[in-house]
Amino acid sequence: MRIISGLLKGKSLNYIKNLNTRPLKDIVKESIFNVLKHSNHINIDIENSNVIDLYSGVGSFGIECISRGANKVIFIEQDIGATNILNKNLKKLNILHKATVKNDKIENVFKKENFKQFDILFLDPPFKDKKFTEILKVIKEKHICNKKHVVIIHREKKVEDYLKDSIDIVLAKNYGRSKIIFGTFN
């Protein structure tokens, strides 16, 4: 696992090998950033953006955002092993000052915190998790996004999620087993 572009390009990331987390493959990550940069459907500039990386694992998406100039990334991950590796990655890359790490369930963090003004929301829930749509509803109700924002969801291609009540889907792309959904809150 590596950083694809930006200030940290080529640096490797530590990752965890267990059944609870699955790393975001470099090819999928690169495709997401190509869409963000080149799509006519999405108008988000990663540089100086505020990002929230939910179900962040070892942080490869959020760290890639920092490498590409994001202002701040909040990582939320409940698996302590993944959180420990994430913190090691942030320290190794000397980017702790651009990151906040929360080791807890997402719903608990949203009960305690009053977040505001995110430009990019990335969700990479376990493929079997269907409760993430409830998280989307909480995010929508709390109005934590800037007017101009994007929600990116990584799912398994075969999984059918009912997202129409949660987000307006702008674009969906398949990459191998993965399906990436880009949307906004209306």
Domain ranges of the chain: 26-184
Contact (CB, 8 A) for 180 and 32: yes
Both structure tokens of 58: 């070892």
Local structure of 129: helix, strand or coil = coil
pLDDT tens-place string over residues 99-117? 999 999 999 998 888 888 8
Q: What is the CATH number of domain 26-184?
A: 3.40.50.150
How far does Cα 162 stand from its chain's mean position? Answer: 19
Quick one: pLDDT at residue 1?
84
Phi, psi of 114 (to 5 degrees): -120, 80
Both structure tokens of 17: 């090998």
pLDDT tens-place string over residues 22-69? 678 888 899 999 999 988 888 899 999 999 999 999 999 999 999 999
DSSP secondary structure letter of residue 164:
T
Local structure of 179: helix, strand or coil = strand
Quick one: pLDDT at residue 19?
54
